[in-house]
Structure 1
């Protein structure tokens, strides 16, 4: 679901683009309104644009001046009386180009006066534009005087003037501003979210049972850092809960074991077969309480206690501890090492308890003279019981039901170490395998 959601950069980019377009539309309306109703400014722009276009056809080759009407305005100034007039003279009055009617001399400034660099006169007010004007240009060191006139603007050149003004003063600057603002914003968002992205990736790997787990918020923006601080506080509360749960389970175990030990001591003074049976039941009850306490401790275990552990050393220690008890119960045990070392991250005491519990389960739930094989490989420990006779399906199901909480404890130890407990059966017995991540 999170992958289908748009990124913050996408959301910001869409919002900026939307409001930029909205601002451009508003500004476009303002520009069009301002220029369209301001006839004087529109007339000035008309003269500047038309004279500029006409000047592009002037070519100076040393002392020779040639003129070619630009293609974009050729149709406009080749037809006399079409509503558009133009005349180009050099500074000494030499005529270079002319597209006029007989009234040109009455409309344009006389040749024998000192011409200004720019002049404009409206013949009629309002629209369509009816005006005359001129402008001076310096090309190749020579001064040229260009005069233009429009009588009613039949080709709506004023629209072209407006559009060029919009492009020059609105579209181009706003586009540059949008690109710069959008790029700067996206870059800022990316840089600001870099620590957040790293924290999100770290959060996927966080172990809630590790009291040292926390998110780094030093480089995060203040608003996002509050969320990281809240998550760290939640982990602190989990750590406090783990501590209180350990204290509670330890107290329960102590309170229960004490009266059980007193009962067993009193039963020792009774010389009767039934007293021995009760003692055996009490031993089972003590072991069951111990298992419950161990399981409760595992549920609140702190993963911060992990260290590098050699599975061979752990298995060897567990076999040495339980071997005398195994032989007392008329079983045998063997340790096989498939590798020289098998290093994993974990807690030695928990792994040792897991191996010892697997061996004890194999002894308790198999007939006499069963050979128990503990095999250590790369990132795995196998405990196999090899019985003298084949085991039928009914016996196998009964043994599975009787394993109960012991296997839950071993499975929980495997989960704490990010591993798995698997059980397989064969004609000769059962094999329990603890596998760990590399």
Structure 2
């Protein structure tokens, strides 16, 4: 907006400049009057009145125009008694000047030949120390184009200086007013960017905002409320479906256990996977209800070590190995149970979806990350796929972990390498301290 205002101000000044130049350039009489006045003013600087009688010394900057009789510029300067103080006039120009014995008017101008370049004669009576002097000039064809200097002086004196001051104040006041008016908008934008979607109390503060901006902020708050209500309804629906399905699934499993047949065992396995999916669906819905009051300072190193110790027997029963490494202390505000569930899911996935003999490493790094790494080869994820907003498809278990990371303001990265998989949660600017050395706990 500021750039557009400045641009149009510059365009307006350029348009006015062109209009002024055209008006002066095509008006020969006005242009001639200005030329005579400017030349008389410069010649008058050479008149001296300090002695017994007036004298005239041609200023050096005028010598190229009035220093000889062949330059196309002529001048004649007389004192009040008619005595000539200076003249480079020839017979060619004498006929264009007023007679010496004629009483000279205060200003006179004669256009010798209309059109450009200017050919004219004129003069003016000036007073220096209360003594009158008649300064007359003539130009035949304006050889050095003094008309350009006249136009430049008029543009500077009567347009650029006054209009420049006006534009500076008007433009400055306009930009200041716009900046002041938009300051609440910038503040609202910062508040909107900092809104925590998991906090139901997050709203834009409309106190002190101009009416128009406050109305916009109120509309945004209403939109947030509608989205929260929609998410709450979705959460309730998901939880209700998971709850209603859980009991029939348990009954079906009890009935299948009474049937002695390989197909029944296959159905039980499929049913177990369905029960796990329902549990994950319920967990995914419950994540939306996390309250910020549940966040406490959590030692991720201690939490991870205790989790690895508790899962180690089961990992070894599946003929896998697991190790815990810490390369720095990681202490962050978090919901410990959620972080524990996320890491447990990553470890269980690494066990269930890799071949026997796979080595699993759970590592806390000094760069604020905690990850689960394995060397189990190509992935085998038989989970129900979930399409994310970015177009990627991942299992619902990994989507739960991603949601947990998002709730904590963290980033979750899952990548396949040539040797296995890396699943890493990166916490934002955590408070951490480096350990004295790498610590490794093999189980």
Give the TM interval when normalised to the shorter protein: 0.5 to 0.7
Secondary structure of the 2:13 match is helix
Q: Structure 1's 406 and 122: CA in aligned 2 closer, same or farther, altered over 3 A?
A: closer
User: Which among 121, 125, 134 is matched to residue 135 of structure 1?
Assistant: 125
Q: Write the deviation string for residues 353-380 of structure 1: whole angstroms up to 9, x where unpaired.
A: 1122234446656899999775544434
Secondary structure of the 2:339 match is helix
User: Which among 12, 23, 40 is matched to residue 19 of structure 1?
Assistant: 12
Whole-Å Cα distance in 2 between the matches of residues 425 and 147 of structure 1? Answer: 96
Structure 2 counterparts to residues 173-192 of structure 1, below 5 A: 173-175=162-164, 177-178=166-167
CA contact (8 A) 2:124 2:136 kept: yes
| Residue segments in structure 1 that go unaligned for 5+ positions in a row | 1-7, 386-390
CA contact (8 A) 2:39 2:137 kept: no
Aligned to 2:241: 252
Aligned to 2:275: 286
Structure 2 counterparts to residues 121-200 of structure 1, below 5 A: 121=108, 127=114, 133-138=123-128, 141=129, 143-148=131-136, 154-156=140-142, 159=147, 163=151, 164-175=153-164, 177-178=166-167
Provide the TM-score with structure 1 as the length reference.
Answer: 0.65
- Tell me how far 1:23 sits from its aligned partner: 2.2
Q: Structure 1's 122 and 408: CA in aligned 2 closer, same or farther, altered over 3 A?
A: closer
User: Which among 411, 417, 438 is matched to residue 419 of structure 1?
Assistant: 411
CA contact (8 A) 1:49 1:161 kept: no
Whole-Å Cα distance in 2 between the matches of residues 337 and 281 of structure 1? Answer: 36
Whole-Å Cα distance in 2 between the matches of residues 425 and 49 of structure 1? Answer: 85
Residue 67 (1) aligns with residue 67 (2)? no
CA contact (8 A) 1:214 1:232 kept: yes
Secondary structure of the 1:107 match is coil
Whole-Å Cα distance in 2 between the matches of residues 87 and 231 of structure 1? Answer: 80
CA contact (8 A) 1:207 1:303 kept: no
The CA RMSD measured in Å over matched residues stands at 5.4
Aligned to 1:406: 397
Q: Structure 1's 69 and 346: CA in aligned 2 closer, same or farther, altered over 3 A?
A: same
Q: Structure 1's 328 and 14: CA in aligned 2 closer, same or farther, altered over 3 A?
A: closer
Secondary structure of the 1:69 match is coil
Aligned to 1:29: 22
| Residue segments in structure 2 that go unaligned for 5+ positions in a row | 385-394, 430-443
Aligned to 1:358: 346
Whole-Å Cα distance in 1 between the matches of residues 248 and 18 of structure 2? Answer: 87
Higher helix residue share:
1
Aligned to 2:107: 120
Residue 348 (1) aligns with residue 336 (2)? yes
User: Which among 76, 96, 107 is matched to residue 86 of structure 1?
Assistant: 76
**Residues matched between the structures, number:** 403
Provide the TM-score with structure 2 as the length reference.
Answer: 0.65
Secondary structure of the 2:140 match is coil
- Tell me how far 1:290 sits from its aligned partner: 0.6
